[in-house]
Amino acid sequence: MAIERVITQSAPDEDVFLNALRPRSLDECIGQEVVREQLRIALDAARGRREPLDHVLLDGPPGLGKTTLAHIIASEMGASVRVTSGPAITRQGDLMSMLTDLQTGDVLFIDEIHRLGKVVEEFLYPALEDFRVDFTTESGVGGRTINFALPRFTLVGATTRAGMLSAAMRGRFGLLLHLNYYTNAELSSIVARSAERLRVHGDRAALERLAARSRGTPRIVNRLLRRVRDYAEVRGDGTLTAGIVDAALDMLQIDTLGLDALDREYLQVLIRHYDGGPAGIEAIAAAMGHDRDTLEDVVEPYLLQIGFVIRTPRGRAARPAAYEHLGLPRPAAAVETQTLFE
């Protein structure tokens, strides 16, 4: 079941809007200091040797800049980037056409790489190691297998679920980089730069308020900036103030910690239906009417990050901070159960 959320849904021109705000180089990036330093060293070394960069795996929650970093890697190496996703590559032939179109040093970016089919993934292994592939031109008795030499390229894989990658695939990457959520200070700097590019006027307090309600995610802070800008133009004089930001985000049902209606529904189901847990993710998904993957990929990462939910061997359990945020009393059963995890 699809979920329409202000923090995730995209308008027809959303990609154009977000692309205009992306940093174009490592020097323009804000936050992720460890990742940027590791990339900088690897890029400098590869340029010094005049070799393509090692294959790179980027993992972390959605919206933290994996796609942006893939484009920056290509830009820093003076190469082109070819963008695709795991679900879009269903056959070996799909991947073969992309590989043969690459030039030496080019970047192949595969988003959601953990969703590659097993046959396609195994077909990719020799391309990553030896830059050669064996491709069967026809099926049946008349089929021929041709060994194709490929130019040396860089694969950049992005995943929100690194645990679903096979050990064999993970071992093919020379750089394994994990992206963390951004601090409010970093998001304030990001949204200030975005506001300047969009010629949106706002005071520091307003931008800090917007950053604090953006779930530690640059994509969300930029998306909310757009929504708040619209609100300010219609209900105000176009200038962002703390009051305008609060009013706009309250209208969008985004609270002071960045939780929206779906996040609060998840917590309320866990607390009210299952006494705070532990409860299995399948049971929670059934009670909410959503699928398990959506909750694991879209809802839970941030709730886990801020300490509202924990995963235990018996299922998910709500933490005291979740009760406090929602203004709900902790059931006696929850008090007794959760002391085992505190």
User: Does residue 256 have an active-site annotation?
Assistant: no
Between the alpha carbon of residue 287 and those of residues 97, 134, 216, 329, the distances in Å are: 44, 48, 28, 21
C-alpha 214/C-alpha 257 separation (Å) is: 8
Q: Name the β-bridge partners of 98.
A: none
Which helix H or strand E contains 234, and what residues bound it?
A: helix 218-235
Q: DSSP character for 175? A: E
Q: Give CA–CA dist 24/70, Å, rounded.
A: 10
User: C-alpha distances in angstroms, 164 versus 89, 114, 154, 316?
Assistant: 17, 6, 22, 20
Annotated active-site residue in 59, 68, 106, 111: 111
Question: Per the residue annotation, which of 67, 68, 159, 217 is the catalytic one?
Answer: 67
Dihedral in degrees, nearest 10, Cα atoms 66, 72, 78, 81: 30
Q: Cβ distance 86 to 115 under 8 Å?
A: yes
Task: State yes or no: is 160 an active-site residue.
Answer: yes
Q: How many whole angstroms separate alpha carbon 42 and alpha carbon 198?
A: 33
Dmax over CA atoms of the chain, in Å, equals 73
Tell me if residue 67 is catalytic. yes
238 within 8 A of 201, measured Cβ to Cβ: yes
Q: Which among 249, 251, 179, 250 has a CA at the least distance from the CA of 218?
A: 179
Tell me whether residue 104 is one of the annotated catalytic residues: no
Which residues are CB-contacts of 94 (< 8 A; sequence separation ≥ 6)?
88, 120
Burial class (CB in 10 A: 0-12, 13-18, 19+), 150: middle
Give the length of the chain.
342
H-helix or E-strand spanning residue 134: strand 132-136
Catalytic residue from among 68, 160, 217, 260: 160
Question: Does the annotation count 337 as an active-site position?
Answer: no
Catalytic residue among 59, 66, 68, 154: 66
Catalytic residue of the set 213, 215, 219, 316 = 219
Residue numbers annotated as active site: 66-67, 111, 160, 219
